[in-house]
Amino acid sequence: MNDTGSPGTVTAAGSATPAAGPLRAACELARMTNCGYCWARPQQPCTAGPGGAAGYHLARFARAARRGLITPAGFDAALAAAGDGMYSGAAVVFDVPGARAEDHARGAS
Ligand SMILES: [Zn+2]
């Protein structure tokens, strides 16, 4: 009954991770660069996705990663969001995890 708990309790303080997760963070960092594929300017998304999602070309994440803006974990999240299959700089990653990139891979005309 004399359970006082451990004296030196280590709590995971300071990890104010947003619920959106690493994908959202990677998208925001990628947005700081211009896109090497479609030349969207900084702060402009490459394309608009379903449900108000913003889409970014994978080339943009690669550029941001080269500049040290995105961590390897963040780039990993972008690759995971791009889905299975072949990647190129033209692959679109949306900042909403549910949005699929395939529908936007090939534009009309
Ligand atoms: Zn782009």
pLDDT tens for 26-81 read 999 999 999 999 999 999 999 998 888 999 999 999 999 999 999 999 999 999 88
Query: 49, 56 in Cβ contact below 8 A?
Result: no
> 59 lies in a domain?
yes
78 CA to centre of ligand 1 in angstroms: 14
Instruction: Give the count of beta carbons closer than 10 Å to the beta carbon of residue 14.
Output: 5
Ion ligand 1 neighbours (CB, 5 A) are 35, 37-38, 40, 46, 57
17 Cα: distance to centroid of ligand 1 (angstroms): 27
What is the Å distance from ligand 1's center to 92 Cα?
Answer: 8
pLDDT band for position 99 (cuts 50, 70, 90) = confident
Residue 58 maps to a domain: yes
Query: What b/e string do you get for 46-57 counting C-beta neighbours within 10 Å, with b at 16 or more?
Result: bbebeeebbbbb
Domain count, the chain: 1
Among 101, 108, 107, 109, residue whose Cα is nearest residue 57: 101
* 8 domain-assigned: no
Its pTM surpasses 0.75: no
Q: Which of 33, 26, 35 is nearest to 71 (CA)?
A: 26
Range of the domain at 77: 22-84
The Cα-based distances of 4 to 7, 10, 11, 34, 85 in angstroms read 8, 15, 16, 55, 53
